[in-house]
Structure 1
Amino acid sequence: MSERSSGVITNGNSFQKSDTSQSSDLGDSDSPLARISRERVSAELSPDSGIAVTPLPSSRFKYLSWHKVDENGVQGNQLICPRVREGPPEEELYLREQEGVHEDVRRRRRRRAGEKERWEERLQENWENCVELNLSFQDLGDPYQLENFFRILRRLIRVEKLQLVDNALRDLSSIPLPMCKSLNLHRNYLTSVRQLPKIPQIQQLVLSENGIEALGELVLLGATPLHSLTLCRNPCAFLEDYRARVFSCLPKLKVLDGIPKLPEDCVPRSPPAPSRTCTIL
């Protein structure tokens, strides 16, 4: 017994008998399925080679649509793809066709409706009247989230107490907070005082656990009524004469890292005397 690449079997006498026995009921009937089958069987013969090619059982049905084999007693092993399932009713097929035609229209309508809802939600936000607000732990990992977060911050024109703890913020220099008196930026990614928002009325400022290195930039806050500052766990907090240098930049400051201003913090730093000795290690 030999097979061709198309899947038909040649010179299979035993197969011919089984094929005839399996489809005898269909061949004897005068149904449309039987007529199409008889017409297609003659096309399966190869007169040029002189060898009669016996078709597979599934060849009788390969020219039929899947919904035409219903109620014909066809077995699964007689089909190329035996997973024949009941199809949708005609009403549903019609609705699917109409859905494909009008899908673009419905998509545009949904988009316009969504934009209108978002605009109405923004009008109801009323961020301008917030006086005390906590926006900590926002997990701003996506650029869209960060952009929307900045949009909210720009509308806080009356906020006086603002919490922005652990938001991975890097630069707030474009944010105006004209009425803010207390700002908590604990555990963010600020590396310079220049990255702070515009806070002309600030009185209490928390910048702990950031990346601020230079203390000289603190003079930028000298024109503000700042009296309490927290800089602990920043790189600048490990510099020599840390407290004295901070109070020299901010003379009106009263509390640094939770500790009130001490008399020794007001002692001016004296430059180190030049050493005339040489130490060889």
Structure 2
Amino acid sequence: MSESSSGVNTSSDSLPKSHTSHCSELRDTHTPLSVEQSPDSGIVATPLPSHRFRFISWHRLEESDVRGDQLACPRVREAGPTEEELFLRGEQNALQAAEERQRSRRRRRREDDGQKWEERLQENWENCVELNLSYQDLGDPYQLENFTRILRRLIRVERLQLVDNSLSDLSSVRLPRCKYLNLHRNHLTSIRQLPKMPQIQHLCLSENGIGALGELALLGASPLQSLTLRRNPCQFLEDYRPRVFSCLPKLRVLDGIPKLPEDSVPSPMSAASRLCTIL
């Protein structure tokens, strides 16, 4: 019997033989710790090589063989405001040592600005071609500001996923080469709030708050081929599909359904239904 450094007595003789044999079998087979088993199918699935880095910014990975395209939805939002910034917002009630707080805030701001500048030089967002920045949990304007800064640097991105980010206005962003954009489940209420996308071909706006169809004409000059507007208020408007195709003559697919002959012009039955017949 021996005593470990933590003060707990351990002994291999005190363990049952079945337990010791089971442990030896595990040592012989070298079962990886990252292997997970699905309770439904019983199939053993190994996570991606980047699974252990899922909470780390991709540009901070050092001495690893993980590529950037193996990171799904990497976190890009910065930490929340400092205590001093919250104090200036009026979210704290402590009023003591205000001058000392201000001096320390200026000193730390100079240090943080230098560190952030070095980190942003390593990000290299300008060369991203395919990017998934979904589920960022942008709960504070401080984080949304940094997120918008990154979007403005995506000058070469062609496929971009921005699912469930609570985005309400991207009009200040320009994506000159973007061909596929997924904005599913956000807070957009107007086509005018979309980024500038002169090369857009496939656009998903499902589960937003878009209510008007007339603004679709703003996308008329783009080579848009497929559009998804499911679960928006505009989907329940009269002559929904004909009106969308009239605004976008180049459109081929709407909500996953190809353009049908009856989508070319408003149906005459719909016009007759507006008349009131008195018997």
CA distance in 1 between partners of 2:159 and 2:125 (Å): 13
2:271 counterpart SS class: coil
Q: 1:213 to 1:122 in 2, by over 3 A?
A: same
> Aligned partners of 2:196, 2:109: CA distance in 1, in Å?
37
Map 1:239-250 → 2, pairs under 5 A: 239-250=237-248
Q: What corresponds to 2:278 in structure 1?
A: 278
The separation in 2 between residues aligned to 1:180 and 1:154, in whole angstroms, is 12
Identity %: 77
Structure 1 letter corresponding to 2:278? C
Distance 2:121 2:246 in 1: 46
Match of 1:183 among 181, 184, 190: 181
2:271 maps to amino acid:
P
Where does the alignment leave 5 or more consecutive residues of structure 1 unmatched?
1-103
**How many matched pairs?**
177
Aligned-partner Cα distance in 2 for 1:235–1:105:
51
Please give the per-residue CA displacement for 1:97-150, whole angstroms capped at 9, x wherever unaligned: xxxxxxx99987765443322110000110111111111001111111000000
Q: Which TM-score applies when normalising by structure 1? A: 0.58
Distance, in Å, in 2 between the alignment partners of 1:234 and 1:276 is 29
1:6-45 deviations in whole A, cap 9, x for unaligned? Answer: xxxxxxxxxxxxxxxxxxxxxxxxxxxxxxxxxxxxxxxx
Query: Which structure is higher in helix share?
Result: 1
CA distance in structure 1 between the partners assigned to 2:229 and 2:176 by the alignment: 22
Letter in 2 for 1:219: A
Q: Select the residue among 153, 164, 168 that pairs with 1:170.
A: 168
Q: 1:210, CA displacement in angstroms?
A: 0.1
Q: Which runs of 5+ in 2 are unaligned?
A: 1-101
Deviation digits for residues 205-230 of structure 1 (CA, Å, limit 9, x no counterpart): 00000000001111110000000000
- Provide Cα deviations, 1:234-279, integer angstroms capped at 9, x if missing partner: 0001112211111111111001111111112113444725747436
1:202 partner letter: I
Work out the CA distance in 1 between the residues paired with 2:104 and 2:275: 83
CA shift in 2, pair 1:144/1:252, >3 Å: same
- CA distance in structure 2 between the aligned counterparts of 1:155 and 1:128, rounded to whole angstroms: 6
RMSD over aligned Cα atoms: 2.3
TM-score (norm 2): 0.59
Matches within 5 A, 1:124-273: 124-270=122-268, 272-273=271-272
Separation of aligned partners in 1, 2:193 and 2:104? 46
After TM superposition, which residue ranges in structure 1, 4 or more long, deviate above 3 angstroms? Answer: 104-114, 267-271, 273-279
Partners of 2:266 and 2:207 lie apart in 1 by 27
CA distance in 2: counterparts of 1:246 and 1:166, whole angstroms: 24
Question: In structure 2, do the counterparts of structure 1 residues 251 and 120 end up closer, same or farther at CA, with 3 Å as the change threshold?
Answer: same
What SS class does the counterpart of residue 139 from structure 1 fall into?
Answer: coil
CA distance in structure 1 between the partners assigned to 2:149 and 2:105 by the alignment: 28
Amino acid at match of 2:177: M
Amino acid paired to 2:193: Q
Partners of 2:179 and 2:125 in 1: CA distance: 17
Cα distance between partner residues in 1 of 2:275 and 2:143:
56
Aligned counterparts of 2:105 and 2:249: Cα–Cα separation in 1: 62
Relative to structure 1, the CA distance from residue 275 to residue 119 in structure 2 (aligned partners, 3 Å threshold; closer, same or farther) is closer
AA of the residue aligned to 2:203: L
Letter in 2 for 1:163: Q
